[in-house]
Amino acid sequence: MTKSCMAPDPDTKTPRFKLPANATDAHCHIFGPGDKYPYSPTRSYTPPDAGLDDFKKLQSILGLTRAVLVNASCHGTNNDPILDAIAQSGGAYRGVANIDNTFTEADIEKLNDGGCRGCRFNFVRHLGGIPDMDEFHSIINKIKGFGWHVVLHFDAIDLVDFQDLLDNLPIPYIIDHMGRVPTKDGLDQEPFKILMEFAKRDNCWIKVCGAERISSAGPPFTDAMPFAKAIIEVAPDRVLWGTDWPHPNIKLHMPNDGDLVDLIPLMAPDTQMQQKLLVDNPHRLYGFSNK
């Protein structure tokens, strides 16, 4: 029996912070609806449906126009939920797929044609832990020729354990949610020091999202801002931001996405940096076709 997830806050606030034109949510998900896109029988959690129509409403309220849809592990390797959404977006969406060794280069080419620009691996314990590393390296070799990147969802301790892996990756990689470093352990904790070293490398990107996941103080999650600011200072051209809507596997404090948008000027007070974080960086990595 799989565990169920909390539903996202249904009353999205209109943020006080006005996002720049073509701002991008670079980390978000589409869940179902399950009667159209069945959830994987091997999933580790069952989410509430949070489909494309709900996502469009969210974007409208927040003032977002672009998105990178990360196919959630609850859908397994069925990438139709994001491919269909991308196809309806008029070039405003891109995707990060879930694939395994059954995917051929022809299969990956179809995903690429459908707007996917990378694939994701979960290392976190509650989503199954370390993937099969032979399969991991095989897939890295397959996607390299397509100019894809790999998105890595780590627990903080993994930043310590997998330094050698990241040292030798032959493609760009993105570390999700600021490496899930717990704020209670401070800026001097070993995983964050390692993350900051990775941030200096040309092939490492970091998502300064997931404040609600790393916060120890709870809402409004401002204790995560020193971490986000430090990352942005070191890698201003290789940072991305996202809502993580609809926030799977939140245990305590379901965030309101309007409040998350209002954290942006706390992590990036300068308008030029806001433009990089929300528009220029995701456009450079994902090549959005809409103007």
> What is the enclosing helix (H) or strand (E) of 58?
helix 52-62
Tell me phi and psi for residue 266, to 5 degrees.
-80, -30
Query: Rounded distance, CA 94 to CA 67, Å?
Result: 6
Cα atoms in the 13 Å half-sphere on the side-chain side of 198: 29
Residue 151 has what DSSP assignment?
E
Specify the amino acid at residue 254: M
Tell me phi and psi for residue 181, to 5 degrees.
-75, 125
Specify the amino acid at residue 286: Y
Instruction: Give the Cβ contact number of residue 210 at 10 Å.
Output: 25
Q: Pick from 12, 13, 25, 17: which is nearest to 268 by CA?
A: 17
Number of residues in the chain: 291
* Under 8 Å between Cβ of 261 and 220: no
| Tokens, residue 278 | 């929300």
Active site residue 244: yes
Q: CA 114, 119, 124: angle at the middle one, nearest 5?
A: 145
Query: Rounded distance, CA 286 to CA 208, Å?
Result: 17
Instruction: Give the Cβ contact number of residue 38 at 10 Å.
Output: 12
Give one word for 71, left, alpha or beta, with left for phi > 0 and alpha for psi -120 to 50: beta
Q: Among residues 25, 54, 244, 280, which one is catalytic?
A: 244
Enzyme catalytic residues: 244
